[in-house]
Amino acid sequence: MTAFTGSARAYRAYRPGLPAPVVDLLAESVSTTPWPALLDLGTGTGQVPAALHPIVSRIDLVEPDADMLAEAERRLRPRLGDTPLRTHHCRAEELSAPEPGYRADLITACRSWHWVDQPRAPALLAGLAADAATFAIMGDGSLWTARSAWTEALRALIQTYLGAERQAGAHGTYREPGRPYAHVLAESAFSPVEEHTFATPRQWSADQVLGYLRSSSFAAPGLFGDRHTAFEAEARSLLDSHTDRDGLIEEAVFTVLLARRPRPA
């Protein structure tokens, strides 16, 4: 059981994809690499490969939730044509090379690195990375961390049902990573580290927000027991009261930590 058990369909339907400037940044990072191979960690339902498949020649997906991985494969197969796709049902730090001599040119972790065993993962990934491989840790927070009148009111409502601490699905309460991601990368084979930020405002409807919450680890239906219907009714009323003609605006910021493995001297 993972933090997202049972949420795969909602995740695929309601999770935002990669902003266009992020796709351009990642494409530029492998623009001089012939036939780049993508290794996507914690792929969820495949938002990253769905955006990047035109610029890569091979794709490997890593995801510990079997339903998520199946949704990702269903999403991607019709788009890929002859591009090889492999799936790996495991955690990032449990991954082994899918074939002798395997090397990834672009390794990505989008909205997933906080679930990874960070002391172990970078060294393991270094063994799977090509010389001069690019490693990108990406994310834009969540509706739990967003700061606006409507997201703060929504978070407060969730807390009245589930308690003050942020939930992490079946894993109990969420714990922030102990060290900044940039520090973890800087001490690994992937350094130096560049930080890129992109303002990414989003317009939500009440239906989309409720769908997103069903896909989350902090407000999944199973956390509410028999009170989920009551919660959604109260949440819809709250969201409707905050909705204006522009909808519900989230002023998201998408951050990319980009590191490249140096070529051997």
- Taking only the tens place, the pLDDT of each residue in 135-193 is 999 999 999 999 999 999 999 999 999 999 999 877 688 777 778 888 888 888 888 89
Within-domain flag for 15 = yes
Lowest model confidence (mean pLDDT) among 54-68, 165-179, 221-235, 240-254: 165-179
Within-domain flag for 162 = yes
Model pLDDT, residue 187? 85
Model pLDDT, residue 1? 58
Model pLDDT, residue 123? 85
| Residue 84, number of CB atoms within 10 A of its CB | 10
CATH number for position 105 = 3.40.50.150
* Structural domain count, the chain: 1
Supply 53's token pair: 């498949």
CA 136 to chain centre: 11
Within-domain flag for 128 = yes
Within-domain flag for 144 = yes
Model pLDDT, residue 184? 86
Model pLDDT, residue 265? 57
The one-letter amino acid code at 179 reads: R
CA 87 to chain centre: 16
Within-domain flag for 1 = no
Q: 27-55 as b/e, with b when 16 or more CB fall inside 10 Å?
A: bebbeebeebbbbbbbbbbbbbbbbbbeb
Examine the pLDDT at 261 and tell me if it is beyond 90.
Answer: no
Which residues have C-beta within 8 Å of that of residue 36, sequence separation ≥ 6?
30, 55, 56, 57, 105, 106
Model pLDDT, residue 147? 94
* Tokens 């992490």 sit on residue: 168
Give the residue numbers spanning the domain of 187.
8-260
Within-domain flag for 3 = no
Model pLDDT, residue 246? 87
Distance in angstroms (rounded) separating the CA atoms of residues 254 and 24: 13
Within-domain flag for 265 = no
Within-domain flag for 2 = no
